[in-house]
Amino acid sequence: MNNKEYLVIGRSNGTTKTGSHYASLKVANLNETINVSVWDMAPTAEPQVGQLVFFYNIKDNAGKKSCDFRDLKCGGEPLFDHELYNLLPRPIRRDVWDDTIRKLLGYCSDKALMAVIEEFAGRFYEPFSTYPAATSMHHAFPGGLLNHTHQMLHILEGLYPCLPYRVKVEHCILAILFHDCGKMNEYNKTGETQTDMYLLGHIYIGAHWLHNILKEKGICDDETKRIVHCVLSHHGTREFGSPVVPCTQEAIVVTHIDNLSAKTDMWEGAGNMEYMNALGTKKVAPSNSLQGENI
């Protein structure tokens, strides 16, 4: 465990009851992913997500790993030829994003809604590529908001032709584009939480923004409500923060795609046998004998 180099793939900051700062780091190398609490570490102190870190000593207390900030040394971001470079997902390239939007528009027929999709798919690319989707849950890295949104759109691209139902795909596309856009108000680009997270929340922010845009574009009230409903209900249940539960096929599609994207990313970023509250289970990683095989 000690004297190993890792890449920081997630970080959240906190304060103890005595007022001391600490950071919870999720770090990975080619062999393992672990969570380490670093005591007496200020929120702005390195390492941040994307940086290399070398631990001199890590204490293990019944599976809970921790160290003092003096027990680590920070490095820079790994270069392209570094063995850990690919452990941190990079934002989706613009041509890949545009290709997915183009293919989805090929399923659409509503010209008014298509125009809104094209406009905001273009407007969102750059800011989404710099913001995280969370601080510790899923896609918690700079550009994670873009990766999560693109992953959902790409899943929809493959799923929609398989649905034998009359799902209006324009509703799903717009809801996916806007469902987490409020996270640009909940976090700053380094993942620090902002007051809007507690005063408003990203679900309200995204739904309110989308509602105003659709009204401004002249979309009828009933259709506007149905599209905004997909954003309001995308967490699936009130227990998980949705003010309403999914009541349309489009909302059900968006909810399950969001859940699939988020939870698989949680699994990917967890260490072997780590308990994940969001999934209610421990992660059991594939054995070495199964890596690369078709099961």
Range(s) of the chain covered by CATH 2.40.50.140: 4-87
What element of type H or E holds 142? none
**pLDDT value, residue 176:** 98
**pLDDT value, residue 1:** 47
CATH no., domain 4-87:
2.40.50.140
Q: pLDDT grade, residue 267 (50/70/90)? A: confident
Q: Rounded to a whole number, what is the largest CA-CA distance in the chain?
A: 62
Q: DSSP H helical segments within the chain, as ranges?
A: 94-105, 111-128, 144-159, 169-179, 183-186, 195-199, 202-216, 221-232, 249-268
pTM (global) more than 0.75: yes
Q: pLDDT grade, residue 136 (50/70/90)? A: low
Kindly report, residue by residue over 115-135, the tens digit of the pLDDT: 999 999 999 999 999 888 887
> How many other C-beta atoms lie within 10 A of the C-beta of residue 13?
19
Q: pLDDT grade, residue 150 (50/70/90)? A: very high
Measured between alpha carbons, how far is residue 7 from residues 76, 78, 141, 148, 269 in Å?
10, 8, 12, 21, 12
**pLDDT value, residue 294:** 46
Closest CA to 116 of 204, 209, 214: 214
Kindly report, residue by residue over 192-245, the tens digit of the pLDDT: 788 988 999 999 999 999 999 999 999 999 999 999 999 999 999 998 889 999
Helix (H, G, I), strand (E, B) or coil at 28: strand
The mean per-residue pLDDT over the stretch 267-295 comes to: 64
Is the distance from CB of 25 to CB of 263 less than 8 angstroms? no
**pLDDT value, residue 32:** 86
The mean per-residue pLDDT over the stretch 83-93 comes to: 85
Q: pLDDT grade, residue 287 (50/70/90)? A: low
